[in-house]
Structure 1
Amino acid sequence: MKRRELLFTLFATMLGLPALSFIKKVQIRPPRPVRIFKVLREGEYYIHDEFVLFETPSGPIAVSRHCTHLGCIVNFRDDERHFLCPCHQSLFDWDGRYIRGPAKKDLPHFAVKRLKGGQEGYEVLMPRTRLS
């Protein structure tokens, strides 16, 4: 029986090794800073291609515009203060919280810092990953 188990293990390993070659290594790179040279008052916002920057009583927040369902670019609807995905109608509150639709997860937030050194505005840190 031991020989049969050994042959089975070797055979299973030989079949499994090619499957492992499809696994990609993810490299996390430093975030990409995006500078916004505009000062927002409380309640105001700025729409960027990849995020919406809001000034809130507790400080600035940047909400991703990439839907957590399939990655479509969501639209911010100022009249209703929410994000709507045009692909499958997922709906998110103004701060990215999931309301309804196929997405099921909140929109991610990005780190935001106020500019210093005499400059007015914000620096949003965009995460970057790369498959190798």
Structure 2
Amino acid sequence: MTMVMDGFELALPLTNAVITMDLAPDRSGASNGIIAGVLEVEPLIHEFQKVAGSFSEALCEGTTFQSLADQLRQGADILSSCSSDTPASCQDPAMTCDAISVGIGFEARSAQLGEVAAPVPPQPDPCEP
């Protein structure tokens, strides 16, 4: 899943993704939509570092960014090795959770598609030397 935040494209690899929704009888839209899955914490931290560094290069490293990174690590509530085929693989008291379970709600309606817009040029990573 890719999101754009402050001009930076964040690559958020969502694993074990599930998409559900209630389709309108005429298929013109959907309600109660949910995109759910698992995000590994360390790649998420790296992606957020780009955004933080765009506000101030001081946020590329140091205690302030490490505090933010530690908060993301503390939010981990599932194992990245989790498999929807074997739910028991999602939790193991002997292991440290290294991913965050996410759910994003949405509503949808039919749209008239036009021309495809040109991609936004990638921003340089302010935290890369």
TM-score when normalising by structure 2: 0.28
| Structure with a larger share of its residues in strand | 1
| Structure with a larger share of its residues in helix | 2
TM-score when normalising by structure 1: 0.28
